[in-house]
Amino acid sequence: MFEGFLRKDALTIFETLPKSVRGSSLDAVIEAMKARLQVDSNFSRVKAISELRSLKIRDGQTVSEFRLVLEGIANRAYPDVPADIVSLQKAEILCHQLANWEGSYCLTEAIETSEHTLAYEKVKEAALRLERSRAAAHCVAQDITTSPQNGSVKSPNLGYSLCRKAEYRHARSENRYNTPKNTIPTEQPTKREKVL
């Protein structure tokens, strides 16, 4: 009779209990199911901790995308632990994954100079700044044109489009450019007004 009230996972857990427990009182069945769920919960936490240890940033993955994955796994690994307690661990993982980036010393500096409860937030901010700097440097490098004497002139539009793509991607991930639709642009002074 009790089986009729169970759905999906709960029914599966109930069916895997020993017959002696299934035939006992409702309280005994509930206690046995709680114990089984605790074992499953511990297994999923251990699995998430293992995923944290082996987590790697993929080629082309932005810092924002990586940190979402990192935070999700950390929440599964430590579901009952406040975020500021695991802040230092997440900061170390993010710093380690970006260690080969030029300028990554600023990430280590963020860990060293911040409180342990705020370490992840500071490293995250520094990593996002570093990513923007890398995108800007890439845009400038793409925008540099060689002299016509060499015969090879790069199109400045290519660098501009890559730069715009990087800016758009960052804005999309951070939702920075949420301006109201009814904004009125300010008038720019004409050339004549500037001279006067």
Would you state the pLDDT for residue 186?
53
Average pLDDT across the chain, whole number: 76
Would you state the pLDDT for residue 161?
47
Q: What is the pTM of this model?
A: 0.56
Would you state the pLDDT for residue 57?
93
Would you state the pLDDT for residue 137?
86
Q: Please tell me the distance from the alpha carbon of residue 2 to that of residue 10, in angstroms, as a whole number.
A: 11
Low-confidence ranges of the chain (pLDDT < 70): 1-11, 38-40, 144-196
Would you state the pLDDT for residue 147?
40
Would you state the pLDDT for residue 39?
62
Q: Which of 70, 53, 185 is nearest to 127 (CA)?
A: 70
Would you state the pLDDT for residue 168?
55
Give the pLDDT confidence of 47-68 residue by residue, as tens digits.
999 999 999 999 989 999 999 9
Would you state the pLDDT for residue 110?
93
Would you state the pLDDT for residue 52?
93
Would you state the pLDDT for residue 1?
41
Rg (CA), the chain: 27
Q: Please tell me the distance from the alpha carbon of residue 111 to that of residue 140, in angstroms, as a whole number.
A: 30
Would you state the pLDDT for residue 51?
93
Q: Which two tokens stand for residue 183?
A: 């904004």
Q: Please tell me the distance from the alpha carbon of residue 120 to that of residue 86, in angstroms, as a whole number.
A: 8
